[in-house]
Amino acid sequence: MYFAHCYPYTFGDLQRYLNRLEADPKKKTRFRRKELCKSLAGNQIDLLIITTFGSDAEEIKKRKGVVISSRVHPGETNSSLMVKGMIDYLVGPSLGARLLRDTFVFKIIPMLNPDGVINGNTRCNLLGVDLNRVWIEPNKKLHPSIWHTK
């Protein structure tokens, strides 16, 4: 018997969700999926860029950026559900979402600590480090997701 303090959201759930988004012919034109970096265990840390891409490149450069990250603490599964809802809205067809895409460039890292999520950690990565405590001086090799995000 297993008990969870929150509805689970695994690394596999995230990958299946992002793959479905990329397979949707309308939604895939509204975002780009890139690899931010690899985790310590070699898992892909995704970066989503959401904006109106059909615009002139110079116009896109002038837009303000919004950076959103989630799951620095693996046990906070509710943040994955919140980010999923946010992504669904931003890549959706509503007028509000289109206005946001026309005005901003959203850069979303939906899972900063996939190794911790995969291994069932609550707050730490594979090295036992709370990644939320290394933002001031992250190490590129020991804290790749924080270093690349910063």
Q: 84's torsion region: left (phi>0), alpha (psi -120 to 50) or beta? A: alpha
pLDDT at position 3, please?
75
**Burial label, 126 (beta-carbon count in 10 A; 0-12, 13-18, 19+):** middle
pLDDT in tens, 15-25: 999 999 999 99
pLDDT at position 14, please?
98
The one-letter amino acid at 128: G
pLDDT at position 55, please?
81
pLDDT at position 132, please?
95
Tell me the average confidence (pLDDT) per consecutive run of 10 residues in the chain, 150 residues long: 82 98 96 98 98 91 97 95 98 98 98 96 95 97 97
Q: What residue spans define the domains of the chain?
A: 11-149
Domain range 11-149, its CATH number among 3.40.50.300, 3.40.50.1260, 3.30.70.2190, 3.40.630.10: 3.40.630.10
pLDDT at position 54, please?
87
Count other Cβ atoms within 10 Å, centred on residue 117: 27
List C-alpha distances in Å: 113 to 23, 100, 136: 25, 27, 17
pLDDT in tens, 18-58: 999 999 999 999 999 999 999 999 999 999 999 999 888 89
